[in-house]
Amino acid sequence: MKKLLLVFATTSLIFACNKKENTTATADTTENQVNYQVFGDSISADGALSKEEMLAKYESMKPVDTLDVKFTSEIISTCKKKGCWMSLKLGNEKEAFVKFKDYAFFVPKEGAENHTTVIAGKAYIEETSVDELKHYAKDAGKSQEEIDAITESKVEYRFMANGVLIAEN
């Protein structure tokens, strides 16, 4: 019985110590130093593609493709309920919809819009149903009129992030 209790206590301690917390990271750029809030896995801004380079990657992908990649962009919006998703600018009025791997972390619900972000994870293309699009519109705080205007599914550029940096402005 004592061995069982010891195994349970050790396992609990390991899982408790493994919880990811938000931290701050710093990256040097040619102009100045950028401070980032870190969400999820600790990543660096080094080697990140631009949003235009990422758009070109998405445009060359097929719906069955996935791509491990890191890119930088600006945040358009985040989930106002939990911070469980965000949308990013890609250029040419295109955007990427970002969720977070295993629902393991969230980003700020307010105040992240127009901030620079670096994300790392998997890019893919997916068709999003009308019901899901309406759900996301509601989470984004859209009006009922805007939600009711959603009548067709949409093929979207998607991203499953395992790490996110958000610049502190």
pLDDT average, residue stretch 36-51: 96
b (16+ CB within 10 A) / e for 61-92 = eeeeeeeebbbbbebbbbbeeebebbbbbbee
Q: pLDDT tens-digit profile of 83-101?
A: 999 999 998 999 999 999 9
What's the whole-model pTM score?
A: 0.76
- In Å, what is the CA distance from 41 to each residue of 19, 20, 90? 11, 7, 23
Give the C-alpha separation, 67 to 147, whole Å.
31
Q: Which residue has the higher pLDDT, 37 or 8?
A: 37
List the domains of the chain with CATH numbers. Answer: 22-167 (2.40.50)
Which pLDDT score is estimated for 30? 44
